[in-house]
Structures are given as C-alpha cells and as structure tokens.
Structure 1
Amino acid sequence: MRVQRSYKSESVPGANVSGSGTLYLVATPIGNLEDMTMRAIRVLREADLIAAEDTRQTRKLLTHFEIHTRLVSYHEHNKSASGPELIRLLLEGQSIALVSDAGLPAISDPGADLVAEAAEQGIAVVPIPGANAALSALIMSGLPTERFLFAGFPPREKKTLGKWLKDLAKERATLIMYESPHRLGKTLSAMLEAFGDRRIAVIRELTKKHEEAIRGLISECIGWFEEHSPLGEFCLVIDGANESESDGQGENEVWWAELDVEAHVSHYESTMDRKEAIKQTAIDRGVPKRDVYNEVNR
C-alpha cells in the first residue's frame, strides 16, 4: 500500500513546504448567509483563485462579503478541460478554493474528481467545514443518527429508480437523499413500493424562511403532498430496514397484495366513505388518486 503525505501551511497563502499549492474545500451557506464562517471568508479572500460550480451564484456570495478573488468555472460539463488546468496551477504553487452552489463541495458534484487527482499528485487538500444539507436534515429528522448512508440523488428513469431503491431496501442505516420538487411524488411512490411503509422525514428549504419538515410514514407523506404542492429543494431522511427486512424476511409483504383495486377500495368502504377509501387505496399503492378513481369508475 502506498502512503501519501502532503504538507500545508494555512497561515500564509501560496506554496506549501512541498512546493505545491493547497486545494481548499470551502463550505458555503445552503440558504442563510449567516452560516458563512469567518474562516471560510478569510480563505476565499486569501486564495489565488476560486473555482466555482456556478460562477453567477458564487459571485453574489463574494459580492456580499466583499471578496475580490479571481473566479473561474469548474463544473460537470467542463471538468475534463478545467480539472487538469487547476491541477497544473496547484502544482505551480497557487492556492485554490473550491466551492459548490451551496454547502460542502465534492458531495454529489464534480469536485470529488478534482480532490482525487489532487491527492494522487500529493497536493494538500484542506476542508473548510460549514453548512451541509444532508447532515442538517438528519439531525432534525427525529430518526436514528448513529449510523446513516447518504445516497445522493435518486435516478430519474423509473426502472432504474426501482432497482436503485431495491438495492437500498435491506440497508439498516438511516438513509439520506436529495430530490427535486417535480420528482418528489414519483420518488415517494417508488419508495413505498420498494421499502414498504417506513418512517420518513421530508425536509425542504433548509435554513431558509420556509424551512419545513414533514414527518410520518411514507404513505402519510404521499397523502400530504397530494394536498400541498411540493416547493423548494428537498432532503429525504428514511428509517433503515428492521431486522426481518434486512434478513430478507417479509420483504414488501402487504395485506392488500392479492386484491385488485376495486376490492382494495371496498375493504376501506366498510369504515369510511368512498372518497376517503379511494384516497387511502392510492396511498397504499403509491399511485395518484385519479388512477384509482378511474379504475373503479370505468
């Protein structure tokens, strides 16, 4: 095994004792500008240049804190060209601060590739901690925090999403993932099918004015968002599998599995009116209410 060592000196900008510069991974606010740390402001001011995922967004942040460091673009679509150039500058002794749109860089963004190459070249990589949406959502979710897995963004294609969730279904750790508002309903429905009806916290707009956490079972959250349009960016925190689920016992067993839609609705009509029965059936099956309504009224 090869052991890599890099040396840094943060007190003075420029080259380290090894001759190369330093790659700083600088956390930026995820909504509230008051979450910007004094250390982050200093590093952004002292770095030779700042590499940003979205220069327009970052320029607003720099203007607010009166930071005038040169700004360059580094994102998914130009990383193959920009990455080697940034590594060259680092090897020449320049210091570079890497930032993402919000939160910690190198998490679900191309910054991870730059960090990997910098480490391979023996360049010092220094994290500047700060706001992070995934961990912020976890600690306010009310779900277990002693073991967790960050899964990033779910796949967009339905078949791929189903397999991706199935692969996570036996994971005992609390699951954390990001999702956009226009895909939230489909993801929750696919999650109900893959995981069963687990506890979940659906958290949006962290640190912003309309920060909100919806906690309950997956089916209950599906019902909530049928009545309230999803707005903002979401973090989903999902309870891990219990012992029987992780051992593969009783996977996806549901009482209504052998019923057709009409029989499913009829079961609920013994205790509630037809409208509520249709709504509950839709929640159970993870489908829109109108699909159930159309099925039973053909």
Structure 2
Amino acid sequence: MTYPNEKQNKWPEASKAIPGLKSGLYIVATPIGNLRDITLRALDTLAAADVIVCEDTRVSGKLLSAYDIKGKMIPYNDHSDEKKRDEIIRKIKDGQSVALISDAGSPLISDPGYKLVRQARQCGVMVTAIPGASAVIAGLQLSGLPSDRFAFIGFLPNKQKARQSFLRDWAGLQSTLVAYETGPRLLDALGDIAEIMGPRHVSVARELTKMYEEVRAAAVSELIDHYKDKGAPKGEIVLIIEGAADKVWSDAEIEEALQKALLSMKTKAAATYVADLSGRPRKTLYDLALQISGKF
C-alpha cells in the first residue's frame, strides 16, 4: 500500500465537524492501494469512532498511523464467531460508535462482515455505510467491457474441477462478470475460462491504484499466450470477463457443445449447461443428449 509522506498526513480542519458519532455500526471503505484514496468522511468517522473493527490490526494500524488516528482496534475476520459478534453489538447498545473496515477497499466485498451487519440489523441498531474505493468497480471501469450490467462472482475456486463447475454456472449470463484471482493461479483460470466459456474478451487488472498498475485486455486466447510467455504476474488481480453473446445457435453447434459437455458431465448436467448457453429448452437438449450418449 502506498503511503503519503509525513507532511501530508493531515486532512482538512473540516474533520473537527464530528466531535462524536451516534452509536451504531459504520461500514467504512478504505484505500485499495494508494493511501490517498480515502474520503474525508471516512477519516472523520475513523477519528471519531469509539472502536474500529478490522480484519488485521497490523494492516489497519499502518493506515491509522499514517493519518495520526489513535483508535481502539479489535480484530474481526473469517474465524470470528457469534461470541465476537455479540461483543461488538453489546458495545453499540452501550452507546458506542463502531467503525468496520477491511484490510483494503469496501468491507463485505469478498471480506468478512455480512453476519455482523445482519445481526446488527436484527438487534435494531443503526447501520450505515461510508462508501469509497472498490477494486471491483475500478477494474470494471478500466476494462472497456460493458458496465451497464455486471455480476461480481468473488474469488474463483482453487481447484480445477470446482473452478470449471463454478464457471459453468455463470457461463450463460449475458452480463459482464468480475472476479478476483491470484497471480499463481491466473493462467489456469484463463485456460478454464477459454474451455468453459469459449472465445471471450477478458481484462486482467492488477495492482490497481499502485505504482505498477497494469490492465491487459484481449481475447482470452491472447492472454493465455502472453502469460505463458511472460510468466505469472505479481500482485492482486481483478478479472473482468465478457458476458455470454446473444447469438442463435445452429443445430450443429448445439450437438458439438453437448458432445464436449458429456465428456465431463452427466447427461442432465450437460443438457442444463448447454441450455443455459444457447437458450434452447432443457427438455429438448436432454433428449438430444440421451441420443448422443447412445452413440458413444
């Protein structure tokens, strides 16, 4: 994460406009790379909050230190249980203001926290959001792919079988898809995208807002060739995948797709998969898949 120099670490005096916060849960977005990408309202909230709930106190401590914020931090992550949530809700009910932040970006977007928000709402405490940086949105904006409709699908599964099954579930959606991936798994992920989703355009956005930010957008086959030649990239990666094309499938294309699907899927699953891709009725494709299976 990029930090400002010491002489730049103060924000305008407007921050003093909030001497205290109403008790409640404040979901605060933090920078995704460049420390200057934080809102004045976020700084005001973090400075005024009684408690700051964060994934890793070491990571968040660097952010707070850069802006001379001396808040009380308590950890909350994927391993936190109901007891920890009860503790946080109790603080709010006792009149304290609690700010929830993640290591980077907008909390709850592939980060822990939704159970805490749900419990807070069920308990009737005030919950509000202080919006800001998001790798999902930044990657989508830079991709050059349609942004009027998109779906964020989180991290792709680690293992190939699970990843391919996951991609099949989304293959028929005619909306841009946004996912997170790591450098070491990128080439395998691109290969599975090509195999399951076909010849689509994909954008690989990495190190967003940082010094070595890079966005590479091309046909998935070109990206595969590039990373085979150059090796796995470093840094955090956002994958933006072109949505399914609105096309009319020929009978030959339908049969070819079913034959390929049947190599790795059962008859019903193959029919459902091709139906989602093509828009053809599942019952029709199931009957055709049975016929094709009889040919093997």
TM band (smaller chain): 0.7 to 0.9
Aligned residue for 2:20?
13
- Distance in 2 separating the partners of 1:251 and 1:87: 54
Aligned residue for 1:136?
138
Q: Is the counterpart of residue 210 in structure 1 residue 212 in structure 2?
A: yes
Change (3 A) 1:40 1:48: same
Q: Is the counterpart of residue 199 in structure 1 residue 206 in structure 2?
A: no
The 5 A counterparts of 1:115-130 are 115-130=117-132
Aligned pair count reads 241
- Kept after mapping to 2: 8 A contact 1:52/1:99: yes
Change (3 A) 1:245 1:237: farther
- Distance in 1 separating the partners of 2:225 and 2:84: 45
Structure 2 residue ranges without an equivalent (≥5): 1-16, 261-296
- Kept after mapping to 2: 8 A contact 1:175/1:237: yes
- Kept after mapping to 2: 8 A contact 1:90/1:96: yes
- Distance in 2 separating the partners of 1:197 and 1:234: 21
Aligned residue for 2:25?
23
**Residues 163-188 of structure 1: CA deviation (Å, up to 9, x unaligned):** 10000000111000000111111111
Aligned residue for 1:145?
147
SS of the equivalent of 1:177 reads strand
Equivalent of 2:53 in 46, 51, 54: 51
Runs of 4+ in structure 1 deviating by more than 6 angstroms, as ranges, are 245-249
Equivalent of 1:162 in 164, 168, 193: 164
Equivalent of 2:82 in 80, 92, 96: 80
- Distance in 2 separating the partners of 1:178 and 1:250: 31
SS of the equivalent of 1:236 reads strand
- Kept after mapping to 2: 8 A contact 1:161/1:190: yes
**Structure 1 residue 79 displacement after superposition:** 3.7
Aligned residue for 2:9?
none
TM-score, normalising length: structure 2: 0.77
The one-letter amino acid paired with 1:239 is E
Structure 1 residue ranges without an equivalent (≥5): 1-9, 16-20, 258-298
Change (3 A) 1:143 1:245: farther
Aligned residue for 1:97?
99
**Residues 52-103 of structure 1: CA deviation (Å, up to 9, x unaligned):** 0111000000000000010110001124332111111112221100000100
TM-score, normalising length: structure 1: 0.76
Change (3 A) 1:12 1:142: same
Aligned residue for 1:225?
227
Aligned residue for 2:289?
none
- Distance in 2 separating the partners of 1:248 and 1:89: 63
**Structure 1 residue 245 displacement after superposition:** 7.9
SS of the equivalent of 1:243 reads coil
- Kept after mapping to 2: 8 A contact 1:171/1:246: no
Aligned residue for 1:181?
183
SS of the equivalent of 1:231 reads coil
- Distance in 2 separating the partners of 1:200 and 1:221: 8
- Distance in 1 separating the partners of 2:21 and 2:213: 40
The one-letter amino acid paired with 1:95 is S
- Distance in 2 separating the partners of 1:200 and 1:128: 31
SS of the equivalent of 2:155 reads coil
**Structure 1 residue 157 displacement after superposition:** 2.0
Aligned residue for 2:245?
242
The one-letter amino acid paired with 2:220 is I
The one-letter amino acid paired with 1:187 is A
Change (3 A) 1:248 1:85: farther
Alignment root-mean-square deviation, CA: 2.2
- Distance in 2 separating the partners of 1:69 and 1:103: 19
**Residues 123-164 of structure 1: CA deviation (Å, up to 9, x unaligned):** 111111111000000011000010000000011122111110
- Distance in 1 separating the partners of 2:99 and 2:107: 10
